[in-house]
């Protein structure tokens, strides 16, 4: 189990390498596909942050993804530019999550009921948004559009210059920067007392309460932050797809992100990111064929991962790497001790 | 004189069962008090009412801690007054190391800068140096009990509530625990809940005996342990 000694540490070498790869990727890879993979990675990381470190499992994290997308689409239609809508796409889901979270956590509901409530919230949003086809359902100039959603809203523009839209490679860099910044923000949160208390809550909520911490406040806090990040991912997705539909709140979307996080590995930030990118890529490739159902394959992958590597890929690799390093260090120490005693390294073999 | 802890007509019912029955109780400053009684006597329920683990309404009577009416408060609010709580079953963070457990407890009281020093002091005081970096989940039951007492101690409370602190400890650990409790008692009032008569006798504290949810008798350890009513409660007809 991960303690909090290392969770806030950014391994800058890896971080710079990853940033360099992301910066150079457009030279060798289709940015349209890469962009959506980064968006899904951000979405999965937002869930991994609160699930893996605070132990809060939301079955309906897609609610905040969808709210971010809708908040952006509605406000950008009304404002005709993207800067304030981008901020609203983070704030609206965050505030919504703060209200839902406060009700759940101060209401002291158990983990199981939290799962049920979060799932029900996203399904209610799905049902509601699907039923907004009439002309009466409009916010300002934006018609909600029912099952067909909202198409044709202004996409990202250069802040302060609504006439300069970002197309092609620039949105890819916006997504890459968003992911990297949210990663750093998450690490910063985890390195502070707030993050350490969250890990304490994951380990033993009752004890944290008896240490004097307001557990409900901490849980509401991380739920809100996580929802804000999911909202940002939703906003970027809306820009990528250039349409928002109730499908963003659907059960499939809610389930997919859970599979990405489980497969990548709980208790890490990089696990959900890699899980989302790898399985997202599988999903895109499977989408190009009709031989086998997409969901069936993802379900099979989930079963295999849960049975074969229940910790997820990244924690399993980290564990194996740590064991290998410890074994090497142990051998080196033993060899050094033998040398000090005057023997040769091979004598004891 | 008002006490550190006072309860007035404290009552707790679970369905038709009255677990704590109109208990009036007072603990003075720097007092060491043991609550004893056979299984089901109501002492742990009484303890949970004091710590906020069982939420009270005003129909349940009143609990005052240093004059503050804490009836209905959540446990984190009660702890923030300066109360340290050790629960019956060791309540620790098994996935974290001993130091990390203590740091989390120290952080709220001593701040980011002061916590490492407070942790080192507590580790030395409880002689936990050899296990300081080990995950608590790997430790034996008695050591985990000691870690939980460390969690209480590192917060420097002025009221300490310990529920069965000696359970699962070896003889040496119990001796060490008694020393620690006496040292805590130099700066804090202490309530110890236990049903081990020998441990209570060794602590040498003032004793309150619970029976069927109510206080049966109070007095010094020697007097109470020789009281025929107490012997009857513990041993049934064999004491007669």
Q: Out of B76, B94, B112, name the one closest to residue A214 (CB).
A: B76
Is A210's CB within 8 Å of B76's CB? yes
> Residues of B with CB below 8 A from A215's CB?
76
Whether residue A75 has pLDDT greater than 70: yes
A104, part of any domain: yes
Contact residues of A toward B, CB < 8 A: 1-5, 193, 196-197, 199-200, 202-204, 206-215
B100 and A3 within 8 Å at the Cβ level: the answer is: yes
- What does the alpha-carbon distance between residue B76 and residue A209 come to, in Å, rounded to a whole number? 5
The pLDDT of residue A5 is: 61
Percent of chain A with pLDDT over 70: 94
Size of interface A-B (CB pairs under 8 A): 73
Residue A247, in any domain of the structure = yes
Q: Is residue A305 part of a domain?
A: no
Confidence class of residue A4 from pLDDT cuts 50, 70 and 90? low
Q: Identify whether B230 is part of a domain.
A: yes
- Mean pLDDT on B75-90: 93
Report chain B residues whose CB lies below 8 A from the CB of A191.
none
- What is the mean predicted confidence (pLDDT) over B178-192? 94
Nearest Cβ partner for B91 among A3, A196, A210: A210
Q: In CATH, what number is assigned to the domain containing residue B49?
A: 3.40.50.300
Distance, in Å, from the CA atom of B203 to the CA atom of A90, rounded to the nearest integer, reads 58
For B151, name the nearest residue in chain A, comparing CA atoms only: A211
pLDDT at A330: 73
The answer to whether the CB atoms of B85 and A210 lie below 8 A apart is yes
- For residue B178, being part of any structural domain is answered with no
Residue A266 CB contacts under 8 Å (≥ 6 apart), including other chains: A48, A51, A52, A311, A312, A315
Q: What's the structural domain count of chain A?
A: 1
User: What ipTM was assigned to the predicted interfaces of this complex?
Assistant: 0.90
| Domain that residue A126 falls in | 12-291
Residue A348 lies in a domain: no
Look at the pTM and tell me if it is higher than 0.80.
Answer: yes
CA distance B115 to chain A (A): 11
How many domains, chain B?
1
Q: What is the mean pLDDT of residues A120-127?
A: 96
Instruction: Please give the pLDDT value at position B235.
Output: 63
pLDDT tens for B136-154 read: 999 998 889 999 999 999 9
Q: What is the mean pLDDT of chain B?
A: 90
Instruction: State CA A31 to chain mean position distance.
Output: 20
Q: Cα–chain-centroid distance for residue A317?
A: 20
**Structural domain includes residue A148:** yes
Beta-strand relationship, A150-151 and A142-143? unpaired
At residue A344 the predicted structure's pLDDT band, cuts being 50, 70 and 90, is: very low
Q: Provide the pLDDT confidence category of residue A342 given band limits of 50, 70 and 90.
A: low
Residues B147-175 have a mean pLDDT of 91
Average pLDDT, chain A: 90
What share of chain A has pLDDT > 90, as a percent? 68
Let me know if residue B33 belongs to a domain. Answer: yes
Ranges A280-294, A325-339, B33-47, most confident: B33-47
Residue A202, min C-alpha distance to chain B (Å) = 9
Instruction: Indicate yes or no: CB of B107 within 8 angstroms of CB of A215.
Output: no
More confident residue, B115 or A342: B115
Distance CA B110, CA A91 (A): 34
Mean pLDDT of A51-60: 94
Confidence of residue A291 (pLDDT cuts 50, 70, 90): confident
Which residues are bridge partners to B162 per DSSP? B86, B192
B152 domain-assigned: no
Average pLDDT over every residue of A9-13: 83
Asked if A200 lies within 8 A of B92 by C-beta distance, the reply is: no
Segment A322-343 shows an average pLDDT of 71
Q: Which of B104, B107, B158, B163 to mutate to test the interface with A (most CBs of A within 10 A)?
A: B104
A5, A193, A204 ranked by CB distance to B91: nearest: A204
pLDDT tens-digit profile of A86-116? 999 999 999 999 999 999 999 988 888 999 9
- Please report which confidence band the pLDDT of residue B33 belongs to, taking 50, 70 and 90 as the band edges: very high
Asked if A94 and A228 touch (Cβ cutoff 8 Å), the reply is yes
| Per-residue model confidence as pLDDT tens digits over A149-177 | 999 999 999 988 888 888 889 999 999 99
Does residue B52 sit within a domain?
Answer: yes
Mean pLDDT of B68-88: 94
From residue A269, how far is each of A46, A195, A273, A306, A321 by CA, in Å? 9, 13, 7, 19, 17
For residue B84, what are the β-bridge partners? B160
Would you state the pLDDT for residue A348? 36
Expressed in angstroms, the distance from the first to the final Cα of chain B is 38
In a domain, A266, yes or no: yes
> What was the pLDDT predicted at B142?
86
What residues of chain B lie within 8 A of the CB of A213, using their CB?
A: 76, 108
The whole-angstrom separation of Cα B25 and Cα B62 is 11
Range of the domain at B222: 1-75+191-240
- Indicate whether A296 pLDDT > 90: no
Taking only the tens place, the pLDDT of each residue in A200-247 is: 999 999 999 999 999 999 999 999 999 999 999 999 999 999 999 999
Q: Give the pLDDT score at B239.
A: 45
Taking 80 as the threshold, does the pLDDT of residue A195 lie above it? yes
Question: Would you say residue B154 lies in a domain?
Answer: no
Closest Cα in chain B, distance from residue A177 (Å): 31
- Among the listed ranges A294-298, B40-44, B102-106, B148-152, which one has the minimum average pLDDT value? A294-298
Q: How confident is the model at residue B40 (pLDDT cuts 50, 70, 90)?
A: confident
In a domain, A55, yes or no: yes
Please determine, for residue B12, whether its predicted confidence score (pLDDT) is greater than 50: yes
Across the beta sheet with B32-36, the strand order is: B83-86, B159-163, B189-193, B32-36, B206-211, B214-220
Task: For residue B50, tell me if it sits in a domain.
Answer: yes
Bridging pattern class, strands B159-163 and B83-86: parallel
Domain-located, residue B163: no
Specify the higher pLDDT residue, B235 or B214.
Answer: B214
Q: Is residue A344 part of a domain?
A: no
Instruction: Check pLDDT > 60 for residue A346.
Output: no
């Amino acid at each position: 189990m991960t303690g909090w000694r290392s969770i806030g540490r950014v391994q800058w070498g890896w971080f710079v390498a990853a940033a360099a790869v992301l910066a150079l990727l457009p030279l060798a890879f289709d940015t349209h596909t890469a962009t959506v993979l980064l968006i899904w990675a951000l979405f999965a990381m937002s869930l991994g942050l609160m699930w893996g470190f605070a132990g809060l499992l939301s079955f309906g994290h897609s609610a905040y993804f969808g709210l971010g997308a809708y908040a952006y689409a509605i406000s950008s239609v009304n404002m005709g530019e993207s800067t304030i809508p981008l901020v609203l796409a983070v704030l609206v889901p965050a505030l919504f999550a703060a209200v839902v979270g406060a009700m759940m956590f101060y209401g002291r509901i158990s983990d199981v009921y939290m799962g049920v409530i979060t799932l029900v919230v996203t399904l209610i949003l799905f049902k509601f948004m699907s039923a907004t086809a009439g002309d009466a359902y409009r916010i300002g100039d934006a018609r909600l559009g029912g099952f067909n959603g909202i198409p044709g809203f202004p996409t990202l523009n250069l802040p302060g210059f609504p006439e300069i839209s970002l197309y092609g490679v620039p949105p890819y860099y916006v997504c890459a920067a968003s992911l990297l910044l949210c990663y750093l923000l998450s690490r910063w949160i985890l390195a502070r007392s707030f993050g350490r208390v969250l890990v304490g809550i994951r380990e033993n909520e009752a004890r944290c309460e008896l240490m004097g911490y307001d557990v409900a406040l901490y849980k509401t806090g991380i739920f809100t932050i996580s929802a804000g990040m999911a909202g940002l991912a939703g906003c970027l997705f809306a820009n990528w797809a250039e349409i928002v539909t109730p499908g963003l709140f659907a059960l499939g979307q809610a389930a997919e992100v859970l599979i990405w996080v489980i497969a990548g590995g709980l208790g890490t930030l990089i696990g959900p990111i890699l899980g989302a990118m790898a399985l997202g890529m599988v999903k895109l490739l499977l989408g190009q064929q009709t031989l086998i159902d997409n969901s069936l394959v993802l379900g099979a992958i989930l079963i295999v991962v849960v049975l074969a590597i229940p910790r997820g890929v990244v924690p399993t690799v980290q564990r194996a790497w740590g064991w290998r390093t410890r074994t090497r260090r142990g051998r080196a120490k033993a060899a050094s001790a033998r040398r000090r005693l005057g023997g040769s390294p091979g004598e004891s073999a | 004189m008002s006490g550190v802890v006072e309860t007035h007509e404290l009552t707790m019912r679970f369905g038709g069962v009255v677990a704590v029955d109109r208990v009036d109780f007072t603990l003075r400053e720097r007092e060491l008090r043991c609550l004893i009684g056979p299984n089901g006597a109501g002492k742990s329920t009484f303890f949970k009412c004091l710590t906020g683990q069982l939420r009270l309404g005003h129909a349940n009577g009143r609990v005052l801690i240093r004059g503050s009416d804490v009836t209905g408060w959540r446990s984190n609010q009660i702890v923030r007054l300066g109360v340290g709580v050790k629960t019956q079953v060791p309540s620790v963070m098994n996935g974290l190391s001993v130091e990390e457990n203590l740091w989390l407890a120290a952080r709220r009281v001593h701040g980011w800068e002061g916590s490492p020093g407070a942790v080192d002091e507590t580790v030395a005081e409880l002689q936990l140096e050899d296990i300081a970096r080990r995950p608590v989940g790997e430790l034996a039951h008695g050591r985990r009990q000691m870690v939980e007492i460390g969690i209480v101690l590192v917060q420097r409370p002025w009221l300490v509530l310990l529920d069965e602190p000696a359970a699962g400890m070896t003889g040496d650990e119990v001796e060490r625990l008694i020393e620690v409790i006496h040292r805590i008692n130099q700066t804090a009032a202490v309530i110890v809940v236990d049903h081990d008569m020998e441990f209570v006798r060794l602590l040498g504290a003032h004793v309150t005996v619970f029976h069927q949810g109510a206080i049966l008798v109070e007095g010094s350890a020697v007097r109470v342990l020789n009281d025929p009513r107490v012997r009857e409660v513990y041993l049934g007809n064999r004491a007669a």
